[in-house]
């Protein structure tokens, strides 16, 4: 499973913040870079890409790219990692960041049998 992406979705930070607020979600601006390990989250999120591209790699090796102006819906439980160059985005979280369980990036557990 991958994220749901809509390219050319928004044109201003205000628009992104307003949509996140209308959901009753919590917003923050982040700059993200490549991650070494696959992981997953136990909350839903939405990303509004300000500067990109933002690239996510999935367990099967496929990569999904989203450019500036894209909205990316990221349901809980999708295993992925950020790859490529740095990107900047407004993230909206379905739960307050202070209430997120730790670690926020949940490790992928593989069977050893």
Instruction: Kindly state the average pLDDT of the residues 88-107.
Output: 97
Q: Which domains does the chain have, with CATH numbers?
A: 4-97 (2.60.120.10)
- Looking at per-residue pLDDT, the higher value among 111 and 71 belongs to 71
Partners of residue 6 on adjacent β-strands: 71
pLDDT digits (tens, 9 = 90+) for 44-92: 999 999 999 999 999 999 999 999 999 999 999 999 999 999 999 999 9
- Token pair for 46: 């939405």
State the sign of the Cα–Cα–Cα–Cα dihedral 32, 37, 38, 44: negative
Q: What is the pLDDT of residue 21?
A: 98
pLDDT digits (tens, 9 = 90+) for 25-45: 999 999 999 999 999 999 999
């Amino acid at each position: 499973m991958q994220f749901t992406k809509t390219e050319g979705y928004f044109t201003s930070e205000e628009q992104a913040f307003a949509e996140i607020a209308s959901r009753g979600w919590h917003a923050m601006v982040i700059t993200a870079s490549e991650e070494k390990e696959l992981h997953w989250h136990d909350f839903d999120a939405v990303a509004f890409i300000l500067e990109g591209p933002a690239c996510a790699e999935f367990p099967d090796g496929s990569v999904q790219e989203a450019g500036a102006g894209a909205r990316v819906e990221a349901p809980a439980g999708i295993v992925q990692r950020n790859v490529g160059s740095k990107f900047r985005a407004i993230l909206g979280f379905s739960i307050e960041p202070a209430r997120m369980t730790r670690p926020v990036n949940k490790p992928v557990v593989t069977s050893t049998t």
